[in-house]
Structure 1
Amino acid sequence: MSYQEKKNIVSLMGSLLVFVFYCLYVFDRYPQATQNSTATFSFWASVILILIPVSIVAKIIISIVFNIIYRIATNEKEPSFADELDKIIALKATRNSHYAFVIGFLLAMGSLVMSMPPYMMFIILIFSGLMSEVVGVITQIYFYRRGV
């Protein structure tokens, strides 16, 4: 298994763990925020705005820890360059990730059109962000295994 595949698998597992723990914390701590009111919008907006920096910091920490463990285990450095294959794979993964998020965004807006409670829009947006990240990482793993 190549460095890129291992890095993507660790990134995927880390992202899923951070997301699950964050959701457990949010849903356990604030179950009353599901009624329809102005407080609902404020609550869910803060949930999304806090999730973004939490996930960024967690990804940075996971990446640093992975590189340290990888270096200790294999005595190899992280590749310092990206060739054309790496760039093509990253572009295709980004494209698929954006497609997944746009579909989730449209579903979130559709939930408002179908008169669902406003908190459903925010929940769909949060999950579409997670799914777009998962799609991007799985796309990278797939293309590193299969080739472009």
Structure 2
Amino acid sequence: MTYQEKKSIVSLISAVLIFVCYCLYMYPQFPEGGLESAATFRYWGSFVLVLTLVSIVAHIMISIVFNIAFRITTKEKEPSFEDELDKLISLKATRNSFFVFVTGFLFAMGSLVLAQPSQLMFIVLIASGFLSDVTGSITKLYHYRRGV
């Protein structure tokens, strides 16, 4: 298995674990007020902002630990350059990831147009962000395994 495949698998697993652990942490903190209360909007706003920060920091730390473990176990350096194949795979993964997020964003805005509770908009936005991260990792793994 190549470095890129291992990195994609680690990224996929870490995205799922970060999201699940954070959701389990935040679930008990859900406010008891009505669906449209200020506390509910504050909860969802902090949920999104903190999830973004936690995810970025955790991905950086996991990437550093992965590179150290890779170097120790294989006694190889991680590739210091990207060839054309790596760039093409990265572009395809980014395209698929953006497509999933934009589709989720449109569904979230559609839920507001259809007069659904605002909580549904936040849930759809959060889910589409998570699914776009997973889609990007799966796309990279798929193309490194099967080719472009």
Question: What range describes the TM-score normalised by the shorter chain of this pair?
Answer: over 0.9
Conserved 8 A contact 1:34-1:119:
no
- Report the residue type matching 2:14 in the other structure: G
Tell me the distance in 2 between the aligned counterparts of 1:31 and 1:39: 6
Q: Give the CA deviation at 1:115.
A: 1.8
Tell me the distance in 2 between the aligned counterparts of 1:44 and 1:75: 45
Tell me the distance in 2 between the aligned counterparts of 1:32 and 1:68: 44
TM-score by length of 2: 0.95
Q: Give the CA deviation at 1:27.
A: 0.8
Helix, strand or coil for the counterpart of 2:32? helix
Match of 1:32 in 2: 32
Tell me the distance in 2 between the aligned counterparts of 1:117 and 1:101: 20
Tell me the distance in 1 between the aligned counterparts of 2:50 and 2:90: 27
Q: Give the CA deviation at 1:34.
A: 6.3
Offset from partner CA, 1:101-132 (integer Å, 9 cap, x none): 00000111111122211111001100100000
1:16-27 paired onto structure 2 within 5 Å:
16-27=16-27
> 4+ runs of 1 displaced by more than 4 Å?
none
Offset from partner CA, 1:60-79 (integer Å, 9 cap, x none): 01001111111111101110
Offset from partner CA, 1:45-65 (integer Å, 9 cap, x none): 111011111000000010011
Match of 1:8 in 2: 8
Match of 2:72 in 1: 72
5+ residue gaps in structure 1? none
Q: How many residues align?
A: 148
Helix, strand or coil for the counterpart of 2:15? helix
5+ residue gaps in structure 2? none
Asked if 1:88 is matched to 2:88, the reply is yes
Sequence identity (%): 61
Conserved 8 A contact 2:30-2:40:
no
Q: Give the CA deviation at 1:35.
A: 1.9
Q: Give the CA deviation at 1:42.
A: 2.0
Conserved 8 A contact 2:100-2:135:
yes
TM-score by length of 1: 0.95
Match of 2:131 in 1: 131
Match of 2:48 in 1: 48
Tell me the distance in 2 between the aligned counterparts of 1:53 and 1:3: 26
